[in-house]
Amino acid sequence: MNIFQEPDIELPEVRYTLQETILTEQKLRDLCRWWQGVLGLSDWYIIVKIKRFYDMPHDTQGACNWTFSRREALIKILDPNDYDPNCIVPQDMELTLVHELLHIRHAPYEPGENANGWLHDQALEDTARALVAFKRNCQKT
Ligand SMILES: [Zn+2]
């Protein structure tokens, strides 16, 4: 038996498509619990808050602070009222939530603010888009 044989199933085409997704703080908290289970973060205590631009780091849609030893984190998602209307990419608050959760998942080996930090952040964004696309694809069927 060849264990490396491809599964005999037809996989659907799954791609993240830009989609405005505006959520309430309560819905974000519900989604956070669900995504924590998916990402293996169920033992973390994570608070999600919608914040105005002046409570966020400059030019960000999401931010996250964590204490790894206590498995506690605060995720801030930008208030839609402050989202730049000229931005080509629509605001997707669930995507931002998953991106920030991936930062927590990768917390032990975050590269920080060096050159690789940008590459690492881009990899997290690509992974977040893939995960959100799979979830939305499953919801369609
Ligand atoms: Zn990031």
What residue ranges do the domains of the chain occupy?
25-140
CA of 100 to the centre of ligand 1 (A): 6
Residue 13 has pLDDT above 80, yes or no: yes
Tens-digit pLDDT profile for residues 50-106: 999 999 999 999 999 999 999 999 999 999 999 998 999 999 999 999 999 999 999
Tell me what pLDDT residue 111 has.
73
Tell me what pLDDT residue 103 has.
95
- Which is more confidently placed, 114 or 140? 140
Task: Indicate the helix (H) or strand (E) that contains 130.
Answer: helix 115-140
CA of 113 to the centre of ligand 1 (A): 11
CATH topology of domain 25-140: Zincin-like (3.30.2010)
> pTM (2 decimals)?
0.90
CA of 14 to the centre of ligand 1 (A): 23
CA 39 to chain centre: 10
Tell me what pLDDT residue 37 has.
98
CA distance 104 to 22: 22
CA of 125 to the centre of ligand 1 (A): 7
**Treating both helix axes as pointing N-terminal to C-terminal, what angle do 93-105 and 25-39 enclose, rounded to 10 degrees?**
40
CA of 44 to the centre of ligand 1 (A): 19
Tell me what pLDDT residue 115 has.
66
